[in-house]
Amino acid sequence: MTKMTYREAVRSALREALRNDPRVFLMGEDVGRYGGCFKVSHGLLEEFGPERVRDTPLSESTFLGAGIGAALGGMRPIVEIMTVNFSLLAMDQIVNNAATLRHMSGGQLSVPLVVRMATGGGRQVAAQHSHSLEGWYAHIPGIKVVVPGTPADARGLLLAALQDPDPVFVFEPSALYGVDGEVDEAAGPGEIGRALVLRPGDAASLITYGGCVGKALQAADQLGVEGIAVEVLDLRSLRPLDTAAVLASVARTHRAVIVDEGWRTCSFAAEVSALIMEGAFYSLDAPVGRVCSAEVPMPYARHMEDAALPQVPAIVAAVRETLGSHG
């Protein structure tokens, strides 16, 4: 086991993949010479050369589409879209090609494409650079969506994505790139579609993913001091979702709060809430709560941005609400 940052864990996985499989290559804006906008691919151009680590022009739609074509042609491309904010330019290729080619061709084609995107807000980079759109992507049949919340999962899920014959979108919360964690570099790939109980509990289930995992754990700590044992479940995979794990947790605790950095309306949290209602209605002692971003494009000023995003006090309050106490 080694202690490393989230970005180092991603880099470790990229390096391993580039070394072991000649079909794998990385392409995206500034992944080569610049070393990656978030320094994830630092050193990889030098190690693997410009054929395997390709700097692209600012043409999201075409280089993501080229990733699809290359995958059809037998490669295992990793397309890096600098952030989810720019992926909107490539939405047509994602929804109308990556997600549909297998189906439209009657099963003749598979698209083994991996797309990595930084996601989330909290760095005062304002409305066009702070989106959390994992929920949109999780809506689409034909692709898979994972959001690793720890360095170990960042490595494990990327390796798993590379083994998947279908398009996998890996959302890397930019707020986590510098966060440390224990990583076993000898471990094999992780498992797409499996959630993880980070902390067991019996008072309520705090269900979350990605950049909110840390905040959920902090909230759990705070409540723990008062003797309220909150269970924290890291979804890790949004599509496919580990519904069984969610329902099992709620069956244990009878209360749930979902923390999701997307906007509240039509959030991924709404989907999880509906699943809980459908599958664990008779286990619930209180309505399912959601802590999401406020209905506002991300403001620039620090205090405003903080207020717009899910924060620990709001999570704690939401848990108390489901327990029937306020404070």
Partner 1 sequence: MPSAGSLPLPDRAHALELLHGMLRIRRFEEKSAELYTLGKIRGFLHLYIGEEAVAVGSMQALTADDNIVATYREHGQALARGIPAGGLMAEMYGKVNGCCRGRGGSMHFFDVARRFYGGHAIVGGGLPVAVGLALADRMQKRPRVTACFFGDGAVAEGEFHESLNLAALWRLPVLFLCENNLYAMGTALDRHQAQPDLRVKAAGYAVPAEAVDGMDVLAVESATCRAAHAVRRDEGPFLLELRTYRFRAHSMADPELYRAKEEVERWKSRDPIDLFMSSLRGWGLLTDADLAAMEAAVAREVDEAVAIAEAGPWEPLEDLTRDVYTVNEP
Partner 2 sequence: MPILTVDMKAGTLTRWRKQVGDAVKRSDIIAEVETDKGLIDVEVFTSGVLERILVQAGETVPTGTALAIIREEAGAAAPAAPLVSAPPIPAAVVPAAPMPAPPGVPVETPGRVRISPLARKLAAELGVDPSSIRGSGPGGAIMREDIERAAAARIPSPVTAAEPPDRQARMRQLIGAAMARSKREIPHYYLSTTIDMARTVEWLTEGNLKRPVTDRLLTGVLLIKAVALALREVPELNAVWRGAAAVPSQAVHIGVAISLRGGGLVAPAIHDADRLSVGDLMAAFRDLVRRARGGGLRSSELSDPTITITSLGEQGVESVFGIIFPPQVAIVGFGKVAERPWVVDGQVVPRPLLTATLSADHRVSDGHRGGLFLGAVERLLQEPEKL
* Footprint on this chain of partner 1 (rule: CB under 8 A): 25, 51, 54, 56-57, 59, 61-75, 77, 92-93, 96-97, 101-110, 141-142, 144, 165-166, 193, 240
| Stretch 255-294: interaction string toward partner 2, x if CB under 8 A | ------------------------xxxxxx----------
| Active-site residue flag, 129 | yes
Instruction: Give the N- to C-terminal CA distance of the chain in Å, as an integer.
Output: 41
Judged by beta carbon distances under 5 to 8 A according to partner kind, the member of partner 1, partner 2, none in contact with residue 244 is partner 2
CA angle (149, 151, 152) in 5-degree steps: 100
Report if residue 138 touches partner 2, rule: CB under 8 A. no
Taking the complex as a whole, how short is the minimal distance between the CB of residue 282 and partner 2, in angstroms?
Answer: 5
Q: Which is nearer to partner 1, 137 or 177 (by Cβ)? A: 137
Report if residue 326 touches partner 2, rule: CB under 8 A. no
Report if residue 243 touches partner 2, rule: CB under 8 A. yes
Q: Which is nearer to partner 1, 104 or 187 (by Cβ)? A: 104
Q: Which of 8, 29, 60, 80 is catalytic?
A: 60
Q: How many residues bind partner 2 (CB under 8 A)?
A: 14
Largest separation between any pair of C-alpha atoms in the chain: 60
Stretch that binds partner 2, among 151-159, 163-171, 239-247, 307-315 (CB under 8 A): 239-247
As a whole number of angstroms, the distance between CA 101 and CA 145 comes to 17
Confirm if 18 and 44 have CB atoms less than 8 A apart: yes
Q: Which of 129, 191, 254, 321 is catalytic?
A: 129
Q: Which is nearer to partner 1, 70 or 298 (by Cβ)? A: 70
Confirm if 209 and 262 have CB atoms less than 8 A apart: no
Judged by beta carbon distances under 5 to 8 A according to partner kind, the member of partner 1, partner 2, none in contact with residue 154 is none
Q: Return the active site residues.
A: 60, 129
Which positions lie near partner 2, rule CB under 8 A? 243-244, 247-248, 250-252, 254, 279-284
